[in-house]
A and B are shown apart, each in its own frame.
Chain A
Amino acid sequence: MKKLLAVTACPTGIAHTYMAAESLQKAAGEKNVPIKVETRGAVGVENELSAAEIAEAHAIIIAADTDVDEARFAGKPIVKVAVAQGIKIPGQLIEQALALQASAGTAAPQAQVAEGSDGKRKQPVFYKHLMTGVSHMLPLVVAGGLLIALSFFKLNPDEGTFLANLLKIGGAAMGLMVPILAAFIAFSIGGKPALAPGLVGGMLSTQLGAGFLGGILAGFLAGYVAKWLIQNIKLPRSMEGLKPLLIVPFLSVLVVGLLMVYVIGTPIKSLMDALTVWLEGIGSGNKIMLGAILGGMMALDMGGPFNKIAYTFAVGLLGSGVYGPMAAVMAAGMTPPLGIWLATVLAPKKFTQEEREAGKVASILGLSFITEGAIPFGAADPFRIIPAFMIGSGLTGALSMVFDVTLRAPHGGIFVLLVPNAISPVFMYLIAIAIGTVVTALLVNLFKKKTTQL
């Protein structure tokens, strides 16, 4: 049974709002269509639609002469008319709404899943927002990652050459990854007004070195801040027009920006400083331990502060002629995307079509030491996937140290093999990576519960 929802509103909020509501209810009753009508009139909002009802609804009819916040209906088909039409042609509106399909809008995939699943079990709202962000980020990761991988046909290409430009384009795409992730998590929560603070929060996360985990945080922050501002700022009617154009954009970006810089940014900086000191303390005293820690850090946030510290630490040691940690770090950075690819191959049923395709791309990114290739999977289900990545990467890092592998180039992935003597011993290095990949894949499939929609 398709359920419908409706919202009615008019400027005076006395007559039309309620007539349209009654009209729609009457017409729906005659057609035996369940409907709930929210009225936004002079006596306040009555019969308010809940998030759960919206998620379950087939479509939404808005019959209003005032602005109705549509953000909460993101992805749902909407029939939008003047309030008078709700009174005049309620039957037609109901037919129209029933005939609509979920649009290709943002939250549509979730909406269809909710409909398609036999039970009424819905994804927790937290994951819905994450998935909206991840699905918009994914094309950037794929395009950026592949372009960067292509540019590795020659390591350190000269400035201005074609390969260097590919690297530049890929870098631009990768640079947008976290802002888009944050922006669409925010969008999923707060609608269009949340996009701007989400983008800015994501950008700041990148600039502050907070990586994709910071981006996820920024997205949720921006979404709820924008939503709160929209609901709670009250202006005299003559200035109401300023709210969406000036007040909400300005305040939401300001608040999210300040929170990112002072509340997220400052601790991240002290964390990074402390970690660096700590890593130096471990030194090469216990090299297996060091390899495991560096590996785990690479996989923890894949481009965030932990990853950067581990990487910078290893690169720093290159200058002192210590090549072991670099090898461990690169190997550990390759196993998350490689592991996710293997996981999709081993248990395709646990993944959606989209994820399986993304898995193929991840294999290339993994070989190229573009750890970010695994971010969409990690971001979609962080509490299950990231531990799997960390264990696999930690193991690989430790093995690389055990095998005394040395690496003299700071990047390049498998393409480093093309450079004579950059890695040795090559065979043991590949074994370390292979073991980590297999362990990651098995753990991912063990932890992963069911298909998550991308």
Chain B
Amino acid sequence: MELNIHELLTEDTVFLPLEVGTKEEVIARMTEGLKLSGSVTDGVQYVSDVLAREATGSTGIGFGVAIPHGKSAGVVKPGLAVARMAGPTDWDSLDETPVSIVFLIAVPKENVGNEHLQILVALSRKLIHDDFRQSLLDAGSKQEIIDILKNM
């Protein structure tokens, strides 16, 4: 299915590659992209909400993927940022392996139309599948990553 992913994901929010850092650094850098795309208006609030979520349990879901996310008052419209890490990055993952792909999800505190949420839901489901993750790892350009997500 073709999803209207453009509203969620722009070239500003694709990081290819993103330099290795701490979890906090990675989230902060990716948040800058979400601010550029107009999803996040209050970066400080949003990062603190994401980290608060992170504190309740790592969002490193295994298979080298992390999906930090926050439902935050600092978000005006749903947004998605994706980063392929330059090297293995520690994320306290469930399977204790470092992550190489990070999806940062921004959702406004007030519920919005389901359409955008549906995209995030579809993405979450897709991430479980090896071939999907591999295609993200193999992608050579930002546009290629956007295309993969568009056609998921």
A21 at the interface (CB under 8 A from B): yes
Identity of the chain B residue whose Cβ is nearest the Cβ of A90 in the assembled complex: B128
A352 at the interface (CB under 8 A from B): no
Q: Specify which of A11, A21, A65 is in contact with B125 (CB 8 Å cutoff).
A: A21
Q: Specify which of B56, B70, B127 is in contact with A19 (CB 8 Å cutoff).
A: B127
B107 touching A19, Cβ below 8 Å = no
B94 touching A12, Cβ below 8 Å = no
- Stretch in B9-17, B27-35, B39-47, B110-118 with 4+ CB within 8 Å of A: B110-118
Chain A residues within an 8 Å CB radius of B62: 87-88
Chain A residues within an 8 Å CB radius of B56: 11, 65
Complex: A82 Cα to B56 Cα, angstroms: 12
Complex: A84 Cα to B58 Cα, angstroms: 9
B111 touching A19, Cβ below 8 Å = no
Q: Specify which of B95, B126, B127, B129 is in contact with A88 (CB 8 Å cutoff).
A: B95
B57 at the interface (CB under 8 A from A): yes
Complex: A85 Cα to B62 Cα, angstroms: 10
Q: Specify which of B95, B117, B127, B129 is in contact with A14 (CB 8 Å cutoff).
A: B117
A12 touching B128, Cβ below 8 Å = no
B120 at the interface (CB under 8 A from A): yes
Smallest beta-carbon distance A377→chain B, Å = 52
B142 at the interface (CB under 8 A from A): no
**Could you mark each residue 1-36 of chain A with 1 if its beta carbon is under 8 Å from any beta carbon of chain B, else 0?**
000000000011011111101110010000000000
B101 at the interface (CB under 8 A from A): no
Q: Specify which of A11, A14, A26, A88 is in contact with B124 (CB 8 Å cutoff).
A: A14
Chain B residues within an 8 Å CB radius of A171: none
Chain A residues within an 8 Å CB radius of B124: 14-19, 22
B71 at the interface (CB under 8 A from A): yes
Identity of the chain A residue whose Cβ is nearest the Cβ of B128 in the assembled complex: A22
Complex: A246 Cα to B151 Cα, angstroms: 49
Complex: A208 Cα to B63 Cα, angstroms: 64
Q: Specify which of A22, A43, A82 is in contact with B57 (CB 8 Å cutoff).
A: A82
Interface majority SS (helix, strand, loop, mixed), chain A: helix
Identity of the chain A residue whose Cβ is nearest the Cβ of B129 in the assembled complex: A26
B121 at the interface (CB under 8 A from A): yes
Q: How many residues of A contact B (CB 8 A)?
A: 20
Complex: A11 Cα to B71 Cα, angstroms: 10
A139 at the interface (CB under 8 A from B): no
B61 touching A19, Cβ below 8 Å = yes
B125 touching A22, Cβ below 8 Å = yes
Identity of the chain B residue whose Cβ is nearest the Cβ of A24 in the assembled complex: B128
A387 at the interface (CB under 8 A from B): no
B121 touching A14, Cβ below 8 Å = yes
Smallest beta-carbon distance A179→chain B, Å = 42
Q: How many residues of B contact A (CB 8 A)?
A: 26
Complex: A41 Cα to B111 Cα, angstroms: 12
Asked, given contacts A23-B128, A26-B129, whether A88 binds B94 with beta carbons under 8 Å apart, the answer is yes
A12 touching B71, Cβ below 8 Å = yes
B53 touching A87, Cβ below 8 Å = no
Interface majority SS (helix, strand, loop, mixed), chain B: mixed
A42 at the interface (CB under 8 A from B): yes
CB interface residues, B 100-139, toward A, < 8 Å: 105, 107, 111, 114, 117-118, 120-121, 124-129
Interface centre among B57, B95, B111, B125 (most CB of A within 10 A): B125
Chain B residues within an 8 Å CB radius of A41: 121
Smallest beta-carbon distance B115→chain A, Å = 10
Complex: A387 Cα to B95 Cα, angstroms: 65
Q: Specify which of B69, B126, B129 is in contact with A12 (CB 8 Å cutoff).
A: B69
A87 touching B121, Cβ below 8 Å = no
Smallest beta-carbon distance B27→chain A, Å = 15
Complex: A16 Cα to B66 Cα, angstroms: 11
Chain A residues within an 8 Å CB radius of B59: 15-16
Chain A residues within an 8 Å CB radius of B67: 15, 19
**Could you mark each residue 81-103 of chain A with 1 if its beta carbon is under 8 Å from any beta carbon of chain B, else 0?**
01010011000000000000000
Interface centre among B53, B61, B117 (most CB of A within 10 A): B61
Asked, given contacts A26-B128, A26-B129, A87-B94, whether A16 binds B61 with beta carbons under 8 Å apart, the answer is yes
Chain B residues within an 8 Å CB radius of A19: 61, 67, 124-125, 127-128
Chain B residues within an 8 Å CB radius of A14: 69, 71, 105, 107, 117, 120-121, 124
Smallest beta-carbon distance B108→chain A, Å = 11
B129 touching A42, Cβ below 8 Å = no
Identity of the chain A residue whose Cβ is nearest the Cβ of B59 in the assembled complex: A15
Q: Specify which of A11, A42, A65 is in contact with B107 (CB 8 Å cutoff).
A: A42
Smallest beta-carbon distance A53→chain B, Å = 21
Q: List 5 A-B contacts (CB under 8 A).
A: A11-B56, A14-B105, A14-B107, A18-B124, A22-B126
User: A14-B105, A42-B121, A87-B62 are known contacts; what are 7 more A-B pairs with Cβ within 8 Å?
Assistant: A11-B56, A14-B107, A42-B111, A43-B114, A65-B57, A87-B128, A88-B94
Q: Could you tell me which A residues sit within 8 Å of B by CB distance? A: 11-12, 14-19, 21-23, 26, 41-43, 65, 82, 84, 87-88
Q: Could you tell me which B residues sit within 8 Å of A by CB distance? A: 53, 56-57, 59, 61-62, 67, 69-71, 94-95, 105, 107, 111, 114, 117-118, 120-121, 124-129
Q: Which 4 A-B pairs have the closest CB atoms?
A: A18-B124, A22-B125, A22-B128, A15-B124
